[in-house]
Amino acid sequence: MLDGLYKPRSVAVIGASRNPLSIGYRVLVNLRDNHFTGTIFPVNPKEPSIAGFKAYKSVLEIPDEIDLVNISIPAKFVPQTVEECGKKGVKFIIIHSAGFKEVGPEGEKLEKEVVAIAKKYGMRIYGPNSQGVMNSDPNISLYANFTFTPMKPGNISILAQSGGIAELINLQLESRGLGFRMYGSNGNASDITIDEILEYFGQDEETKVILLYVESFQNPARFVEIARKITPNKPILAIKTGTSEEGARAITSHTGALVGKDTITDALFEKAGVVRFTRLEELVDAAIAFSKQPLPKGKRVTIVTNAGGPAIQATDEAIARGLELSVLSKETQEKLRQKLNPMSSVANPVDMTATAGPSEFAHTLRTLLEDPDVHSLLLSMVTPFFVDNEGVLREVLNVAKNAQIPIVATYLTNKRLWGYLAEGAFSAGIPTYDYPETASAVLAAMSEYVRMKGRPSVSQPETITCDRKKTEEILKKGVRGPGGFISFTDSVEIMKFYGIPFVSTYIFNSIEEIESNSSKIPFPCVLKIDAEGIIHKTEVQGVSLDITKMDQLLKEAKRMAESIKGKIKFVIQPMIKTDIELIMGIKKVHDTGTLIMVGTGGIYTEILKDVEFRLCPLSRFEANEMVKKLKIYEILKGARGRKPVDITQIEDMLLRLSALAMDNPSIEEIDLNPVMVTPVERKVVAVDVRIKAPLA
Amino acid sequence: MLDGLYKPRSVAVIGASRNPLSIGYRVLVNLRDNHFTGTIFPVNPKEPSIAGFKAYKSVLEIPDEIDLVNISIPAKFVPQTVEECGKKGVKFIIIHSAGFKEVGPEGEKLEKEVVAIAKKYGMRIYGPNSQGVMNSDPNISLYANFTFTPMKPGNISILAQSGGIAELINLQLESRGLGFRMYGSNGNASDITIDEILEYFGQDEETKVILLYVESFQNPARFVEIARKITPNKPILAIKTGTSEEGARAITSHTGALVGKDTITDALFEKAGVVRFTRLEELVDAAIAFSKQPLPKGKRVTIVTNAGGPAIQATDEAIARGLELSVLSKETQEKLRQKLNPMSSVANPVDMTATAGPSEFAHTLRTLLEDPDVHSLLLSMVTPFFVDNEGVLREVLNVAKNAQIPIVATYLTNKRLWGYLAEGAFSAGIPTYDYPETASAVLAAMSEYVRMKGRPSVSQPETITCDRKKTEEILKKGVRGPGGFISFTDSVEIMKFYGIPFVSTYIFNSIEEIESNSSKIPFPCVLKIDAEGIIHKTEVQGVSLDITKMDQLLKEAKRMAESIKGKIKFVIQPMIKTDIELIMGIKKVHDTGTLIMVGTGGIYTEILKDVEFRLCPLSRFEANEMVKKLKIYEILKGARGRKPVDITQIEDMLLRLSALAMDNPSIEEIDLNPVMVTPVERKVVAVDVRIKAPLA
């Protein structure tokens, strides 16, 4: 619980000074000027008073109990001061001072020392190198932060790893006349984490929307756990940076090669139900609508306009963002036609034309709100000089106040003349934006939240039948190839134990063994080499396809045996002819969890990157969503006269793969590549497998 | 020449009235209040004077010559009035009045009548249903428009098919304190077209940037012709709407199926060198930078910041938009390190940290401007309360005024306290934006213009050797299948005449013919059916691959002969084994020109849409750009140990295809699908072809 941090009854400011350019001074006057409801105690060994407050030589001299302390003295003096705070019985310490982990090993040592001291006394550290916290609750009014923007109550809480970004968001909200609820930017996060603050904001009843900015997750798995408890009740809108980062990674599997920083974040946010943004402007614009409006009923937007161009722009953007245009019923269209001028368009977008006045607006909105296909309303308004624009606004607000769906607007007007209209709409609760496309983007973000909120619980995997014990036995055996891969034979066994369809496979140790088993060979067949250290068989010509005769088989086997040194085995499988290849895989990511992947296989895999990732454990709903999001889904469904593929089989394989990975934490990577899909025979079957599971 | 429209010496306002809610009144006072330098004559049969001007009963009564007339009387009276204007010797008429083509056939008839009358007298019509024109040239000061925003000179000209959008752009420029140069929104465009106005803006020396908003092209080919003359000298930034439109089209070819509204626009804009936008906000933001700053030297941006978070956001957005981060030389980094505090980062992004003052800013910018890898500068600034922020601005402006590359900035500050700093930078010519990502997007747009400006002339196709005469003879022959397709035999011949590599092909009229030519058959071979009316052979099982023996071939031929009714031919080709298939094609688009396409072939073609389109005639440079933009280019280059493909051969094929289409206007569509690419044999060869060239 962070109540002592966000709802303290008393705050001491250590490092408070009379220098108006000092952080200590700023925090002190910020607390004072924003009307902190508790008691404020400046601490300064040299001054008798600061900013009208009696100053104390040390925190130990303060007569009252202290919940929260702000420290902005030079880093080297911090440990001693924290020790004193401990003796005083302080509960929380915000360290604004820089000069810790962010400056190198020396600073890191100092930081650890500080945290250790705090721990000794049961105190919690916020920072160091942090901007501070704010709580606009009028019963608290805590501005323990060194920025400038005046505090105003609101229902949006801001949490950002970067102080600059937290402030940027706050400034933008303020410039639209909005406040915030709680605010946190915890710098080096040596003790209190982003996750902990997030959980606290999640529990705060007055917080309606949480805005989150993260540069790196401290504990991604914990983040998902916390966030997914919050998102069914209130939206988290988040930016995770570093999308352009290209980490150098040791790539040993296809699945691994396809995992990017961004993929991981996407999978985390998808599991947690967090709405992801890349641009701050879009985050802020969306936050305003989430703050002021109810959620849409679905992704079908209805656009109402009195000018053509802006509605076209709004439509293009809405479609580009995955929204759909509602289809207005005949009754709705008929009713609209009754009162609108004949030049109007009564289909969506509804264009009332420039002459529409208050009664046309009222009639149109009222009619649309009755149509069940109208999930959200986008109002695009110009202000013709020959129309009673004030009357229009009055009617719009009148209808809007009973609406159960979100209404967002764009006011295309001369602000000097009619800016007050847009302001009026905004203060009455209808978010207004300068550009029609922004309104579409905002509704798309709301609809994305509704999509995730509406998912069946994604935590409950199906129970599958498998031979878990035998699998564990194999994985316990000490035989590993380079990189920690188990043998092909073992991998194929595990597929069997977990019911993952795998093509019938014959493994021979020598050419003689092939010869003496000639009756078993399933012509036309495929011959593959299995040798230690070979990761991509095709790159060493270790795969021969479509062999129809014994002599051909033996010739190929000899060629391979000669070209590859060391101990090899021969793998023979029946040739499966199909032009649909998938890839499936598992990749454990340190601290984050286990990613599962499905995508288009074959030579195009890494080029086209038609892949979907999710976090394990996987539910059937998620497995189905993954497959449906692939571009190749069109082909799987049976495009251009093809037979459709049995999607359930693909889902089953994914669920079994997920179970295999979750049951056996030593598994780090699995590649099923390719997985052959044969629509005619209605089969989905893997023909190659690699499992990386190093010994502990 | 539109001088009489944009630089009239006298303007008559027909329909001027004393009613302040009338368009005629607005235009009159707009002309007056914006200080038109010529003479203004209101025309009204009932009033002796309006707004202080003597009014005339009819245009014929005006004593002076009239260059330009504005008409805002009801539509039905317009023809007679235009007739009078003709008699008077008027040169240009702006018709604001609605009630013409936009209301249906009756209005369309009226509109044609008006244009015919004007033509009779050599007058030009602007509109009807139009907002009007403006020219802010202080020597003219023409506000012949019924909107409100006061006119202020600038170097951006605005041209929009939608009056609402033109005004929105103008309002946004005005809200940033910017003016415009010329302005046009020509409504129904019955006579004077967007193209004509565009050409006029292109010739205007004071116009530095042209903003264009188009909903539909009247004559796309003409647009390209005009725009490509302008773009080498000044940028055209454009939005073309309808990106979400899904036109119902008769699809008879793969190439045709892949052509979308958006594809055509992309190809048009690419050929014309026009920078495309989808969002108005981005268009306006970019226009500001184009208006105020020099062009970047290339796509390598350098980010300078005094706070981490915003620089990360700017970096992510820059990379996402195709920019690259400059790599600062060792000397540059060394020089930066000398004066910056040790906690600074001297690699790109250069983070001077929050304590950086005027001298650090000056030193950093000066140093960076000397590094040749610095193509543009993005300045991300917070305003710490302990820094001399005014001094910083002074130094920034001082260094910036000699910069030969663009500098754009984001000011993250409390506007009430330090808004004047951002304003100061802005008025001094450094565009400032609220969000760091916006600055990146703007530089990306500038770099996109530079890319297109730097292309070698794309108009000069290479001369190719071909047998044009024989091709023309074939195309003149009357034999056509359904849909206007020429026969497969003829198509293959044409490939030969134009030197387009095509697999050796044997065509037999009967099974007996196959049998008697058995020695010629190139086993393993492919058997295909060639029958009238079959468009996609695979869908009717009309293709058999990898036939190794004569009896198998005959069996397949019999099966096909039995399953398909009507006259059929048998096509036999050697089997080409490869996993790289391309598709190439030609598609003539009405009024627009001839599109040429290359992309990933095979079953994934229409799903993955990895295709590139350009307008013919194609230059080698363009052909090369097309191939390089494909995702499959990674494979063509030789990914994962593959041999690289000879890209020149692909270019050659495209150039020959382009020449074939340009030489023979009767050709409407060509599909080369698939085109087999065999890296080992270094061959690129088409194995199927269809040519649609209906008889005139």
- DSSP, residue by residue, B145-201: ES--SPP-B-SEEEEESSHHHHHHHHHHHHHTT--BSEEEE-TT-SSS-HHHHHHHH
Q: Contact at 8 Å (CB) between A145 and A134?
A: yes
Distance from the B576 Cα atom to the nearest Cα atom in chain A, whole angstroms: 15
pLDDT for B17 equals: 94
pLDDT for B463 equals: 83
Average pLDDT over residues B662-666: 95
CA angle B570, B575, B579 (to 5 degrees): 130
pLDDT band at B250 (very low <50, low <70, confident <90, very high): very low
pLDDT for A534 equals: 62
pLDDT digits (tens, 9 = 90+) for B93-113: 999 999 999 888 999 999 999
* B382 contacts in chain A (CB < 8 Å): 164, 167
Element (H, E) at B412: strand B407-412
Six-digit token string for B364: 């950093």
**pLDDT beyond 80 at A639:** no
Average pLDDT over residues A42-64: 96
Residue whose entry in the numeric block shows the structure tokens 């979400």: B244
Six-digit token string for A110: 């100092």
Average pLDDT over residues B660-670: 96
Nearest to B603 among A320, A608, A635 (CB): A635
- Separation in Å, CA B502 to CA B489, B617, B663: 12, 22, 20
Nearest to B385 among A26, A315, A640 (CB): A26
Q: Is A211 left (phi over 0), alpha (psi -120 to 50) or beta?
A: beta
Nearest of A45, A58, A55, A43 to residue A13 by alpha carbon: A43
**pLDDT beyond 70 at B251:** no
pLDDT for A678 equals: 87
pLDDT digits (tens, 9 = 90+) for A386-421: 999 999 999 999 999 999 999 999 999 888 888 899
Distance from the A566 Cα atom to the nearest Cα atom in chain B, whole angstroms: 22
Distance from the B474 Cα atom to the nearest Cα atom in chain A, whole angstroms: 32
d(CA B361, CA B394): 10
Average pLDDT over residues B40-69: 97
* Higher pLDDT among residues A186 and A678, named by residue: A186
pLDDT band at B300 (very low <50, low <70, confident <90, very high): very high
Given the DSSP bridges, would you call strands B53-54 and A525-531 parallel, antiparallel or unpaired? Answer: unpaired
Q: Which residue in chain B is spatially nearest to A418 when comparing CA positions? A: B148
Nearest to A310 among B165, B175, B641 (CB): B165
pLDDT band at A249 (very low <50, low <70, confident <90, very high): very low
Provide the 8-state DSSP code for A106. Answer: H
**pLDDT beyond 50 at B127:** yes
Average pLDDT over residues B117-122: 98
Contact A639 B315 (CB under 8 A): no
pLDDT for A591 equals: 80
pLDDT band at B340 (very low <50, low <70, confident <90, very high): very high
pLDDT for B248 equals: 32
pLDDT digits (tens, 9 = 90+) for B386-424: 999 999 999 999 999 999 999 999 999 888 888 899 999
Q: Which of B171, B279, B380, B580 to mutate to test the interface with A (most CBs of A within 10 A)?
A: B279
**Percent of chain B surpassing pLDDT 70:** 95
**pLDDT beyond 80 at B537:** no
Backbone angles phi, psi at A432, to 5 degrees: -120, 145
Q: Compute the mean pLDDT over every residue in chain B, rounded to the nearest whole number.
A: 92
Helices and strands (H, E) in chain A, number of each type: 24, 30
Contact B635 A604 (CB under 8 A): yes
Q: Taking the CA atoms of A460, A464, A467 and A473 in sequence, report the sign of the dihedral they define.
A: negative
Element (H, E) at A14: strand A10-14
pLDDT for A172 equals: 95
The b-or-e profile of A257-276 (16+ CB within 10 A means b, else e) is: ebbbbbbbbbbbbbbbbbbb
Distance from the A336 Cα atom to the nearest Cα atom in chain B, whole angstroms: 18
pTM for this one? 0.92
3-state secondary structure labels for all residues of A562-618: HHCCCCEEEEEEECCCCCEEEEEEEEEECCCEEEEEEEECHHHHHHHCCEEEEECCC
pLDDT band at B283 (very low <50, low <70, confident <90, very high): very high
d(CA A474, CA A488): 12
Average pLDDT over residues B566-584: 90
Q: Contact at 8 Å (CB) between A157 and A180?
A: yes
B438 inside 8 A of chain A by CB: yes
* B604 contacts in chain A (CB < 8 Å): 600, 604, 608, 632, 635
pLDDT digits (tens, 9 = 90+) for A296-335: 999 999 999 999 899 999 999 999 999 999 999 999 999 9
Q: Which of B130, B168, B438, B680 to mutate to test the interface with A (most CBs of A within 10 A)?
A: B168
* A349 contacts in chain B (CB < 8 Å): none
* B631 contacts in chain A (CB < 8 Å): 607-608
Q: Contact at 8 Å (CB) between A576 and A678?
A: yes
pLDDT band at A459 (very low <50, low <70, confident <90, very high): low
Average pLDDT over residues A455-484: 85
Residues ≥6 apart with Cβ < 8 Å to A675: A581, A582, A583, A584, A601, A653, A684, A685, A686, A687
pLDDT for A571 equals: 94
pLDDT for B482 equals: 82
* B318 contacts in chain A (CB < 8 Å): 244
pLDDT for B243 equals: 60
**CB-neighbour burial class of residue B253 (10 A; exposed 0-12, middle 13-18, buried 19+):** buried
pLDDT for B254 equals: 65
CA angle B72, B74, B77 (to 5 degrees): 105
**Percent of chain A surpassing pLDDT 70:** 95
pLDDT digits (tens, 9 = 90+) for A203-214: 999 999 999 999
pLDDT band at B246 (very low <50, low <70, confident <90, very high): very low
3-state secondary structure labels for all residues of B17-28: CCCCCCHHHHHH
pLDDT for A456 equals: 83
Q: Contact at 8 Å (CB) between A336 and A344?
A: yes
Contact A631 B606 (CB under 8 A): no
Element (H, E) at A412: strand A407-412
Distance from the B339 Cα atom to the nearest Cα atom in chain A, whole angstroms: 18
Choice among A78-82, A98-102, A679-683, B32-36 with the minimum mean pLDDT: A679-683
Six-digit token string for A209: 């929307």
pLDDT digits (tens, 9 = 90+) for B479-501: 888 889 999 999 999 999 999 99
